[in-house]
Amino acid sequence: MNQDWAVEATGLDKSYGDMKVLREVDLRVARGSVFSLLGPNGAGKTTVVRILATLLRADAGRAEVAGFDIVADRREVRRRISLTGQYAAVDELQTGEENLRMMGLLTGLRRADARARAAQMLEQFDLTEAGSRRVSTYSGGMRRRLDLAASLVGRPEVIFLDEPTTGLDARSRQRMWDVIRGLVDAGVTVFLTTQYLEEADQLADRIAVIDGGRMVAEGTAAELKRQVADQRLEITTRGAAAFDQISRSLGDRAIRADRAALTLGIATDGSAAHVRALLDEIDPSGDYVERFALHSATLDDVFLSLTGHTTRQQETADV
């Protein structure tokens, strides 16, 4: 048992038939931190969460959550975690208060305590007024907040949030982020999955990038950004020789390279000064670069720089 890690997993494998969903996933989450698993749809994020939350058995590998083995000590793990999935786990035909009270009773609270805890959670999540209304009357954002509140009734140590803001509008998302930040202040460990780079950036202490069931990178937001930057300078070279020359001098800094199209991508902050400096550096004589364009870095750029392939067809917006 390791007291420093809220989640520690090694070599998690999972297949459905011939389809390998996870391959040797290793991860560690420090207690009291926010960890974000970032990846596109179908990368295996939900599978990781379901395995760690004891809902799904891995084919190979082992993991401890809150200091207990997820297979051997499943009950102990379940007593210490909560899971908020992509589908709200609240009853539409119950009121917000009834949903919370039910969760309180199921976590072993007495009737009076469950009632008090429900009131407290409604207050904390800004739902006191809506508490006596049926959930079917709630907005999407309110429903997510209630869902999260319901998962917290039992005071879990480790909270799994599977895409907590997917499908929410910008304001509700912002509000959800505030709520999640509040959780961290309370000292719990948050394990969240997301497809949004910005969300991971806003919330997470450490980010792991998953793609095709494989961990492709792990680090702080700043570390990952260093690989991707906010913008990408895309240059088209004048001929294959020029391409090879620049490609060689850039080395790892070329986050994408397409020899057939004679294009190379380089991370930049997008400022005129930096772009000018870059162009001067790679093409001092002005003979090699034919054209250039600036693209906003997307999650795809993270994947591209980390995995060498895109998740979907790249859109280009020339400047």
- For binding to another protein (CB under 8 A), which residues are involved? 50, 53-57, 75, 78-79, 81-91, 93-94, 98, 102-103, 105-107, 134, 147, 150-151, 154, 160
At closest approach, how far in Å is the CB of 76 from another protein? 10
At closest approach, how far in Å is the CB of 72 from another protein? 15
CB 312 within 8 A of CB 300: yes
At closest approach, how far in Å is the CB of 87 from another protein? 3
Displacement of CA 177 from its chain's centroid (Å): 13
Residues whose CB falls within 8 Å of the CB of residue 211, separated by 6 or more in sequence, listed in order: 39, 40, 43, 303, 306, 307, 311
At closest approach, how far in Å is the CB of 93 from another protein? 4
At closest approach, how far in Å is the CB of 165 from another protein? 16
Structure letter (DSSP) for residue 195: S
Using CA atoms, how far residue 147 sits from 50, 83, 98, 104, 157, in Å, is: 17, 10, 12, 13, 17
Q: Which is nearer to another protein, 107 or 247 (CB)?
A: 107
Using CA atoms, how far residue 61 sits from 22, 24, 125, 206, 286, in Å, is: 11, 7, 37, 22, 54
Q: Which is nearer to another protein, 53 or 262 (CB)?
A: 53
Q: Which is nearer to another protein, 144 or 173 (CB)?
A: 144
Q: Which is nearer to another protein, 53 or 302 (CB)?
A: 53
Q: Which is nearer to another protein, 53 or 127 (CB)?
A: 53
Cα 244 from Cα 166, distance rounded (Å) = 42
